[in-house]
Amino acid sequence: NKEDLVFYYTEQLDPVLKGVVARNISKQVYDLSASKIEEKEKTSLGKIFLTEDGKDFGLSKFFKNASRAKEFLLSQVKSTLEDKKLDQKNIDQVVKNFTDQDLASWSFDYKDSQIILYPANSGETVEEIALPISSFFDVIESSY
């Protein structure tokens, strides 16, 4: 006796980078327990970026030299968090979490001329870190 019908799907979003397709992953739940089908919840599960040929587009592909870009991003993250007057222990933890991850696996978005980074396991320290794209013109792959 199933009471819920669940759909997972993606929706293409407006392009923000040349040659890169953004897709939002969603979950939609319908309640089947009544005599009619009613939407119960709709949840966005996140966004992914794909190249035009369907391959994953990670943050590392956005830059000419991924290791140099990672160092630069880490310094920008640290100074941005220091500007927000966060506790040094929290700043160190967020920076360590990014340091321990490969740049290609960092969770990010690009909007309003900013790279938005989403720290993993940051708890309630900080949900997102917005960095102006103008800071990265020297290291960005020019085709984007």
Overall domain count for the chain:
2
Check whether residue 34 and residue 85 sit in a common domain.
Answer: no
In this prediction, what percent of the chain has a pLDDT beyond 90? 35
In which domain, by residue range, is 34 found?
Answer: 4-51
Does 136 or 82 have the greater pLDDT score?
82
User: Count of CB atoms within 10 A of residue 77's CB?
Assistant: 21
Supply the CATH number for residue 128's domain.
3.90.640
Statement to judge: residues 27 and 80 lie in one domain: no
pLDDT score, position 1: 57
Cα separations in angstroms, 130 against 79, 81, 93, 106, 111:
12, 10, 18, 14, 9
Tell me: pLDDT of 97 over 80. yes
Q: What is the mean pLDDT of residues 53-76?
A: 89
Question: In this predicted model, what pLDDT tens digit does every residue of 20-47 receive, in sequence order?
Answer: 888 999 999 998 887 778 888 998 888 8
